[in-house]
Amino acid sequence: MNRRSILAAPALLALPARAQPWPSGPVRIVSPFTPGGASDLAARFVAQALQAATGVGAVVENRTGAGGNIGMEAVARAAPDGGSFVIAAAAAAINQTLYRNLPFDLLRDFAPVTVVIEVPNLLSVHPAVPARTAAEFVAWARAQRGGVTYGSAGIGTIPHLAMAMLCARAGIEATHIPFRGSAPAITELIAGRIQAVLENLPPQAPHMRAGTIRGLAISSAARHPDFPELPPLGAELGWPDFAPVAWQAVMAPAGTPEPIVARMAEIVGNALRVEENAARLRATGALPSGMPPAAFRAFLAREVEAWGRAVRESGATVQG
């Protein structure tokens, strides 16, 4: 199952249209990361759901760079009229502490709409690495003179911080190679120019099934219903508290009228409740959410606090 097959889901197109004062023209859905990753997947799902429910066009705009901050800033500065939304990743909560000169405040400058998907990370290796379990990877990596190389979607992303924490906790010497998004990191893993990643599961799933990478374990606390062969990473290593999971959510500029926020959340939630759509998302490794605005706002505050603590403990910082 790939991203294009999800977007072709007939169930999305079957959602009933409703006459609404909003939107009146094409709506921009900004994805702050490169095409092919979880952010792009969520953006295109939301765009299809919005168009199916309202009959109005929705355009996905990939505005990448600075760990997602360029796309986030573009929407923070947009008019709060329902014409622009952004797919905020958990990385946005990290960036609140990671970047010294962030040009926006996540809790002040955005209106939380809904969480679209939660995304476990997959620890995977190039097939030349002899490990077939997370425990075997740790043992192999500890024995490598000069350490191992791992990639991520960028400095300060969940895949970077989660893998850094894993290596530090396991006593692995490792070199981090950041890329501009998940897709380039996975491409380099397939090519054998890096040895491991702890990246989002959805963009890795097709490559794992094709055998071009080897998946070892996922970062969630429990097994994924569509990937039961992958054990939870924390349990595999004897670390029950280790479960760094990402998420992708819709946010609007602060000041966007509450009826628009509520309607967008309703549209996305309705699309996620269509079982065919949910099954297609699960098949990629994503877990459908649909968290409503009030719950999302409280969740977001907790995430900013928790990842801020992780960043401070890691010592990572970006001038920004």
131-181 pLDDT tens trace: 999 999 999 999 999 999 999 988 778 888 889 889 989 999 999 999 988
27-69 pLDDT tens trace: 999 999 888 878 999 999 999 999 999 999 999 999 998 889 9
Alpha carbon 237 to chain centroid distance? 24
Structure tokens at 89: 């990743």
Cα dihedral sign, 127-132-133-136: negative
- Is residue 286 within 8 Å of 41, Cβ to Cβ? yes
Q: What is the mean pLDDT of residues 247-270?
A: 97
Q: Is beta strand 214-218 parallel, antiparallel or unpaired with respect to 121-125?
A: antiparallel
